[in-house]
Amino acid sequence: MDYTPFLVTFKLAVFTTLILFIIAIPISYFLAFSKWKGKIILESILMLPIILPPTVLGFYYLSYLGPESAVGAFFEDTFGISFAFSFEGILLGSVIYCTPFMLSPMMNGFRTIPRNIVESTYLLKKSRWNALWHVLLPNMKRSIWSAVLLTFAHTIGEFGLVLMIGGKMQETNVASVAIYDEMNSLNYDVANNYAIVLLCISFVLIVALNLITRNNRSTIA
């Protein structure tokens, strides 16, 4: 069995999770606490990939960032970065597609922290930054773990979007696409091997999610 698709899958999942984790903290904090009236629109746009068919996202992604597009051509000519048919391309697509899975648990985490706890940090003269690192994030470990594991698991299972953006290149050949290709080539045994591994990984991730989010002491959300 060729293990390359698993390496690509894990690389994609690790980078997607890492990038989204860093981005999601300030965005979810803003969406949870801001009184800006327009945030419902911003939140809706960011949550759109939950219900949007991956093909719709893939179509617009390629239309506006693909090699034929002005933005795609500019980045390719200027920086040598291709947003389609490359690992960077599927990574960007994956980050966009998985945003809701990181953002939603994080926002819920911030919103679940009692108002008194948040206000206590103001009353103790702590800056928002200090309160975020010392009080808010440590009290929402369950939400953070949910966000990280859900994003990681969802990236591992991505198919349609990666197929559209990544094409059939070795550097974009993730395990889910490899199963599809082997099926089309009637290599059922190989497809089965890939599928069993993905099934086991997904099961382990769900068990981990359930264990970590259950009864975590000294944390609120």
Partner 1 sequence: MLSIEIHKRFVSKRREVNIDYSVSINSSVTTALYGKSGVGKSSVLRMIAGLETPESGNIVFNDEQWFSSTEKINIPIAKRKLGFVFQDYNLFPNMTVAGNLKYASENGKIPERISGLLNSAGLASLMDAYPDELSGGQRQRIALLRALCQEPELLLLDEPFSALDDEAIAELIKEIKRIQESLNTTIIVVSHRKDVIFKMADYVVHLKPNGEVEHGKPEDTLERDF
Using CB under 8 A, list all residues that contact partner 1: 114, 116-117, 119-120, 122-126, 134-135, 138-139, 217-220
Nearest to partner 1 of 69, 108 (CB atom): 108
13 exposed, middle or buried (CB, 10 Å; 0-12, 13-18, 19+)?
buried
- Least separation in angstroms between residue 109's CB and partner 1 is 13
Which residue intervals of the chain are DSSP H helices?
A: 4-33, 39-47, 54-65, 70-79, 87-112, 115-123, 128-131, 141-156, 160-166, 175-184, 188-213
- Least separation in angstroms between residue 125's CB and partner 1 is 4
How far apart are alpha carbons 216 and 56 in whole angstroms? 39
- 73-82 burial, b at 16+ Cβ within 10 Å, e below that, comes to eebbeeeeeb
- Least separation in angstroms between residue 141's CB and partner 1 is 8
- Least separation in angstroms between residue 123's CB and partner 1 is 5
The answer to whether the Cα torsion of 157, 161, 165, 169 is positive or negative is positive
Nearest to partner 1 of 141, 154 (CB atom): 141
Rg (CA), the chain: 20
How far apart are alpha carbons 52 and 98 in whole angstroms? 11
Nearest to partner 1 of 128, 168 (CB atom): 128
Nearest to partner 1 of 81, 131 (CB atom): 131
Nearest to partner 1 of 55, 120 (CB atom): 120
- Least separation in angstroms between residue 139's CB and partner 1 is 5
